[in-house]
Structure 1
């Protein structure tokens, strides 16, 4: 393992940012999950209103037993919300529910970055795992071709992380715009929801930086004599 130790410093900035981003999202969520909205809508009600107004009546909303595991599943066209978001009448629950509806709207409109991301998911899931195996076999056995192939395959994970950024930022932008214009949230409530979603977005930025750093690290290792 000592062979790889010196390259770990490449990951250090990304690791620090990742910890900061996770603390930021936890802090924002914990704060605004305790602040009840003036309208008192639950996350489920917010999502249902937004979906119906977007003409997405067929999309069902389900509860998933996972804290902050909220997501939109494009394959089954189901919006899944954690219990806290589904039943919560808070700024955090409204913001998160609206964000996931933003993804459903992207799906309906065939938003390009989302289409590209969804199309490469199966390939990236396989290539990102295989890349490490090929890379380490190549390093241990001195097969430069396998090392290069591993790096190329891992690049797919980096591309996926980069494409994810506009998808997430756009979903948040859609969510906040609707929450504000439809008067689902008011003034400081919108600011609170913005802080929650901005904090969540930073975790994706951190993930992208980590994957880029890891790619640089692999290249650095491969260039060793």
Structure 2
């Protein structure tokens, strides 16, 4: 019994831990910092001008949907990132501008998302379809329905999504630590004592998609058991 409890706790830590940590870090450093030279949106605009990305714009996004839109050439930032002065706002904005710079320079790492993200989306759609269609197909074909097997298939598809997100991780890491952090240091936009905190935020930015993919596996698993 103890073994099963420990296994359950380990699974919860693996699947939910990264997402909880990412959200905790981003929230932890959202405290207002009026001493900073500008908001995340203002920093993004400044960096785009400084690095001569004149065809890239900055726009508002839905909360938690910060990203660089390669097709539209738009850095989209959450309202709080766009308007607030905080370490999280500054780091997230610099991270997304880092993606824009990598794409502008046509770096190989900038193509990972374009190459692999559609695969992740396709696998997620397949998981959702199987989630709801399998019981119906079992009934229509008069095959025995096994919830455990159904769940294992869903988890397998979810793990494929995680592996795809891991393939994209170098692009996220590049945006955080080869672009954003050097830009913030070189421009002296932050006091030196804030750099370790910004490192944590940039790590959270890089891990966002992997953490989300891991959590989705358990969300998929819960549905057929209700």
Both proteins in one fold, TM over 0.5 = yes
Aligned to 1:30: 27
What residue is the counterpart of 1:185 in the other structure?
190
Pick from 60, 69, 75: which aligns with 1:79? Answer: 75
Q: In the TM superposition, what is the alpha-carbon distance from 1:35 to its structure 2 partner?
A: 4.1
Comparing 183-192 with 130-139, greater Cα deviation is found at: 130-139
Task: Please say if 1:171 is aligned against 2:167.
Answer: no
| Counterparts in 2 of 1:161 and 1:37: CA distance versus 1, 3 Å | same
Q: Which runs of 5+ in 2 are unaligned?
A: 1-5, 145-149, 222-226
Q: Choose 188-197 or 133-142, whichever is displaced more.
A: 133-142
- 1:41-89 Cα distance to aligned partner (Å, 9 max, x none): 11112111211222211111011231x2211111111111111111111
What is the distance in 2 between the residues matched to 1:132 and 1:89?
39
CA distance in structure 1 between the partners assigned to 2:73 and 2:34 by the alignment? 28
In structure 2, the residue matched to 1:4 is none
CA distance in 1, matches of 2:172, 2:74: 18
Residue 57 in structure 1 maps to residue 62 in structure 2: no
Structure 1, gaps ≥5 residues long = 1-8, 218-225
Superposition TM-score, scaled by structure 2 size: 0.72
CA RMSD in angstroms comes to: 3.7
Tell me the residue number matched to 1:5: none
Structure-1-length-normalised TM-score:
0.72
User: Secondary structure at the residue paired with 2:59?
Assistant: strand
CA contact (8 A) 2:119 2:164 kept: no
Pick closer, same or farther for the CA change 1:84–1:207 going to 2, 3 Å: closer
CA contact (8 A) 2:81 2:93 kept: yes
How much does 1:179 deviate?
0.3
**Can you list the C-alpha shifts for 1:140-187, whole angstroms capped at 9, x where unaligned?**
559xxxx9x999977753442122211111111110111011101121
The 1:33/1:162 distance shift into structure 2, 3 A limit, reads: same
CA contact (8 A) 2:16 2:214 kept: no
Cα distance change, pair 75–158 in 1 and its aligned pair in 2 (3 A): same
Deviations 1:186-217 (A, max 9, x none): 2122222212222343444445666899xxx9
Match of 1:100 among 96, 100, 112: 96
Contact 1:162 1:208 in 2 (8 A): no
Give the Cα separation in 1 of the matches to 2:109 and 2:204.
21
Residue 224 of structure 2 is matched in structure 1 by none
